[in-house]
Amino acid sequence: MTDLDLFLDQYKDDILKQVKYLNTRSWVTTESDVIQKEHDMQFIILKSLINRIVFFLENGGRARIEEDTNVKVFIVKVEEIIQSYPYLVSEYLRLNDWTLLENVNDAQTNEITFQSKLMDNSMYIKKTLKEMNIHSEMDGLAIEIQGDDKIPFIMRHKAMEMYQSIPKFLEQRKIKLD
């Protein structure tokens, strides 16, 4: 049994339980007196999910996603719930316009502070998802080759191990490495 198998055995049920909780409870529609607490609890769960998926990806999980349909389905489920957070923030902001609150008071200050936190958290989630690059997307990768020249790639073995799409990308374009 590999370290990844142990990881999945140890955390899969807990992760799926967290995903189920997040799927069945929307902090956006929670009662106003507990909405911030519900949001904060759900955001802690999201960060935990992100940390576990990052660990999985950094320890050879990318290859498992491409090789094992069950692992891919599991990762996609987790990724979908993480991706939903910015949409929930947008929905909350649409429903709660702090500018409609009368006069500057504690309620307005609290709402502005909360919405600022939501926007910061949303940016964190978007940035983290992009950095995780779960599906090894090669957007923006531009390799220019002159003629039939070989290109040096000092860290190629490590990069190819971490990003399974690099060998496919190179093979598709018939790029040779030194």
Q: Nearest 5°: phi and psi at 122? A: -60, -45
**Residues forming beta bridges with residue 177, ordered by sequence position:** 151
Q: Token pair of 126, please?
A: 């978007």
| Tens digit of each residue's pLDDT (9 = 90 or more) over 38-55 | 999 999 999 998 888 888
Judge whether residue 36 has pLDDT over 80.
yes
Q: What is the mean pLDDT of residues 23-36?
A: 85
**Local structure of 159: helix, strand or coil:** helix
Helix, strand, coil shares, percent, the chain, to 5 = 75, 0, 25
State the helix-helix crossing angle for 35-56 and 106-132, rounded to 10 degrees: 10
* Residue 75 near residue 48, CB atoms below 8 Å: no
How confident is the model at residue 15, as a pLDDT? Answer: 86
| Tens digit of each residue's pLDDT (9 = 90 or more) over 139-175 | 444 445 555 555 555 666 666 676 666 676 677 666 6
167 or 26, which is more confident? 26
* Residue 42 near residue 27, CB atoms below 8 Å: yes
Q: What is the dihedral of CA 104, 105, 108, 110, to 10 degrees?
A: 140
How confident is the model at residue 124, as a pLDDT? Answer: 93
Enter the pTM of the model: 0.69
Residues 6+ apart with CB under 8 A from 38: 25, 27, 30
37 or 70, which is more confident? 37
Q: Which of 33-37, 120-124, 154-158 has the highest mean pLDDT?
A: 120-124
Q: What is the mean pLDDT of residues 97-112?
A: 80
